[in-house]
Structure 1
Amino acid sequence: MEYRADFFLGVFGQILGYAADYVILWLLIQSFSTIDGWTWPELAFLVSLNILSYAIGASFTYTPTANMEELIRTGDFDKYLTKPLNTLMYLIASMFNFGYIAHITISLSILLWSVTALPVQWTFLKILYLICILIGGAMIQAGALILVSCWGFLFTKSQYLFSLYFKMKEFISYPMSIYAPFIQICLTWIIPLAFINYYPSLFLLGKQEGVLVYLTPLLGPIFLSVVIKLWFAGVNRYQGTGS
């Protein structure tokens, strides 16, 4: 908070940017009424789950993972290895990003609005399930960012993969059912982004039930644990770049 004006202007700009995404989606709905049967409140709920879970997970992991390429290239990563601390936790603690308060503000606001606008009976179990999928979705989002950064241990350069990840994440702003089967398979079983918001939304909105809708709370911790093991495997083989 040393530069408060800069911080708050940045937050305001981020809120405007994500608000524009919601407006674009709303304009599409005005033209087509629904998208594969999904109404505006349902789509707002779908997108908000994506943005809110990302904001929670990225608050801890985006800055350290996005900086991994530079840390490895310059040799600055070595200083994190000299401390008697868990390397990943040290990175996260030293680079926690408070700027994601903007993402949380806009997505949580729209999420709460959509919850009241939807004809859904919110029981205690559904509210508990919603909290669990937000936590599980945040773990998937955090795990995906850590996984991308692992590439840096092998090839030093990893920044371009972040752009690819964010392009892929845009797919889950819309129902998976509008995509070809190949894309649905990729976003379900290869990079499990569909579990962040699509499958949970099917259950909460009463569109579909099945085993997939219950996997997010379980898949999040499992995916994150596996990715963390891969990250430390990369640390163990890290030998510096000779900078």
Structure 2
Amino acid sequence: MFYVSMFFQYIGQYIKTRFQYRADLVVEILSDLLFQAVNLVFILVVFGHTQFLSGWSREEIIFIYGFFLIPYALFSSFFNIWDFNERYIVKGEMDRILTRPIHSLFQVVLERMELESLFGVFTGVAIMIYAGNLLNLTFAWYDYLLLIIFVLGGALVYAGIFVLLASIGFWSDARTSIMPMMYNIGNYGRYPVDIYNSVIRFVLTWILPFAFVGVYPSAYFLGRSEWYGYAFMTPFIGIAFFVLAVFVWNVGVTKYRGAGN
């Protein structure tokens, strides 16, 4: 209950801070929406030259993209730690974090949250509804529960991968450029994995499992029975990667040498 209370206190303070600069908040929301629109236009341009992509129709690709936006929005809202190494390790702000009687990762996550990214959830839902109507998809009552489970699993996959990457900073004091590169690799998860060669498919499934953020869980709702096994693995992969990430983080904290060394 203590952590729940702290969570809502952080959110309350964040909202107060953001509403002090309303124009900046509106610009950031519009920028996110524009970025999502550009990605959608890219899909439409690709399918302007072909009807199918490795057996996937335009509407199915759009549906996958819409699904991908939902877990990605949750991740972007609460795990905005792309600059962890430079801010907390190189500049020494981790010293401040470790003086407080709260788990260090919990503090870092809430300090860096960007709740305006949650608008991506509504965008993703709208795109899924649009594509679902074109595909004549129907959902049973339990599909909505599975949707929530798959979304949370996908968000944990993203969170686990990037917490693992952030944890590298505890062993290295130098600035690294791996975060931006990994963000770009993550975008591969919003396209069907069978459009890639076997090596990339293996990496996106078992090494950097971004495929569990978009295409695998979406395949269930699209009726792609050959991917059902992967779809139902989504929450387990998400939990496994996130638990591993927290473990590595906790070990890394013990290796932190402080800003003065």
User: Matched residues in 2 for 1:58 and 1:205: separation?
Assistant: 25
**Correspondence for 2:167 among 150, 154, 168:** 150
User: Mind listing any 5+ residue stretches in structure 1 that lack a counterpart?
Assistant: none
* Displacement after TM superposition at 1:159 (Å): 4.4
User: Matched residues in 1 for 2:175 and 2:234: separation?
Assistant: 27
User: Matched residues in 2 for 1:167 and 1:71: separation?
Assistant: 23
Conserved? CA contact 1:22–1:44, under 8 Å: yes
Q: Residue 20 of structure 1 aligns with which residue?
A: 38
Paired residue type of 1:23: V
User: How high is the TM-score relative to the length of structure 2?
Assistant: 0.87
Q: Residue 144 of structure 2 aligns with which residue?
A: 127
Paired residue type of 1:8: V
User: Matched residues in 1 for 2:204 and 2:93: separation?
Assistant: 35
User: Matched residues in 2 for 1:27 and 1:65: separation?
Assistant: 30
Paired residue type of 1:201: S
**Correspondence for 2:188 among 167, 171, 174:** 171
Q: Residue 92 of structure 1 aligns with which residue?
A: 109
Identity %: 26
Q: Say yes or no: does 1:136 pair with 2:153.
A: yes
User: Matched residues in 2 for 1:147 and 1:195: separation?
Assistant: 17
User: Matched residues in 1 for 2:197 and 2:210: separation?
Assistant: 16
User: Matched residues in 2 for 1:79 and 1:241: separation?
Assistant: 10
CA RMSD of aligned residues (A): 1.7
Q: Residue 12 of structure 2 aligns with which residue?
A: none
Paired residue type of 1:47: Y
**1:190-229 alignment runs, 5 A limit:** 190-209=207-226, 210-229=228-247
Paired residue type of 2:94: F
**For the structure 1 residues 157 and 38, does the alpha-carbon distance in structure 2 shift closer, same or farther, using more than 3 Å as the test?**
farther
* Displacement after TM superposition at 1:129 (Å): 1.3
User: How high is the TM-score relative to the length of structure 1?
Assistant: 0.93
* Displacement after TM superposition at 1:181 (Å): 0.3
User: Matched residues in 2 for 1:200 and 1:177: separation?
Assistant: 15
Q: Residue 40 of structure 1 aligns with which residue?
A: 58
Conserved? CA contact 2:82–2:179, under 8 Å: no
User: Matched residues in 2 for 1:101 and 1:222: separation?
Assistant: 24
User: Matched residues in 1 for 2:198 and 2:190: separation?
Assistant: 17
Q: Say yes or no: does 1:231 pair with 2:249.
A: yes
Q: What SS class does the counterpart of residue 206 from structure 1 fall into? A: coil
User: Matched residues in 1 for 2:47 and 2:32: separation?
Assistant: 23
Conserved? CA contact 2:95–2:259, under 8 Å: no
User: Matched residues in 2 for 1:65 and 1:163: separation?
Assistant: 7
**Could you list the per-position Cα deviations for residues 212-238 of structure 1 after superposition, in whole angstroms to 9, with x for gaps in the alignment?**
221002221221111111111111111
Conserved? CA contact 2:190–2:211, under 8 Å: no
**For the structure 1 residues 6 and 36, does the alpha-carbon distance in structure 2 shift closer, same or farther, using more than 3 Å as the test?**
same
Conserved? CA contact 1:46–1:198, under 8 Å: yes
User: Relative contact order: is structure 1 or structure 2 higher (C-alpha 8 Å, sep ≥ 6)?
Assistant: 1
**Could you list the per-position Cα deviations for residues 113-150 of structure 1 after superposition, in whole angstroms to 9, with x for gaps in the alignment?**
22333232211222221111001001111111211111
* Displacement after TM superposition at 1:65 (Å): 4.8
* Displacement after TM superposition at 1:204 (Å): 1.7
User: Matched residues in 1 for 2:69 and 2:175: separation?
Assistant: 23
Conserved? CA contact 1:148–1:158, under 8 Å: no
User: Matched residues in 2 for 1:39 and 1:157: separation?
Assistant: 45
**Could you list the per-position Cα deviations for residues 175-232 of structure 1 after superposition, in whole angstroms to 9, with x for gaps in the alignment?**
1111100100111111111111222222221122442221002221221111111111
Q: What is the aligned length? A: 242
User: Matched residues in 1 for 2:59 and 2:177: separation?
Assistant: 34
Q: What SS class does the counterpart of residue 53 from structure 1 fall into? A: helix
User: Mind listing any 5+ residue stretches in structure 2 that lack a counterpart?
Assistant: 1-18
